Amino acid sequence: MASSEEYKRQIMKDLAQRDVESLDDTKAESTAEYQNFDDFAQRTTPGQRRLLFGRSLHPDRIPTSQMEPELQQAIAQIKPNERDDVARAFFKHLKERKLDEKHLEQQLGLSTHNPNRMTADDVSKLASFTYHNHPDIFHQVLAEQPGIIKFLSNPVVAGIIGVAAAKWLGSCK
């Protein structure tokens, strides 16, 4: 059985080979493979990523019980400044829904509501809450801050993202 990294590389290779010429007539672009998730994230827009994640990362497809440990692991691996940005983005979008940071701190048992002082565990709780209760905000934040996705290790999660990305690439004709 292939390792998770090999699996992710194969997904990126498959994504790069699926109807990419329909996105752009430039031959160099159509034959280039995505080198890694960072390359994929740089060559897609936040809107494209939001659409992709919205189709694949949803509690109806991946249960919260399966996604929570993945988020914990992924958030623990991102750089502290990126983790701050992720927390800040979640709070920004949740605040637009009239969910106050202090209330969320109490409700979720966070150590603080200050994004600069939040632990990986705090950000994981915030991400899990958002995934379960506000999936549209979860997708928006991932589209803006896609760094979390590259650390998801579950082959089911990676597979769903790969399938959704292939469908997205095929539908952009």
State pTM to two decimals: 0.68
What pLDDT was estimated at residue 169?
A: 55
pLDDT 10s digits, 37-57:
667 667 777 887 777 776 667
What pLDDT was estimated at residue 14?
A: 59
Structure tokens at 16: 């790069």
The answer to whether the CB of 149 falls within 8 A of the CB of 36 is: no
Determine the Cα–Cα distance for residues 53 and 135; give it in Å rounded to an integer: 10
**pLDDT tier, 22 (very low <50, low <70, confident <90, very high otherwise):** very low
The answer to whether the CB of 153 falls within 8 A of the CB of 64 is: no
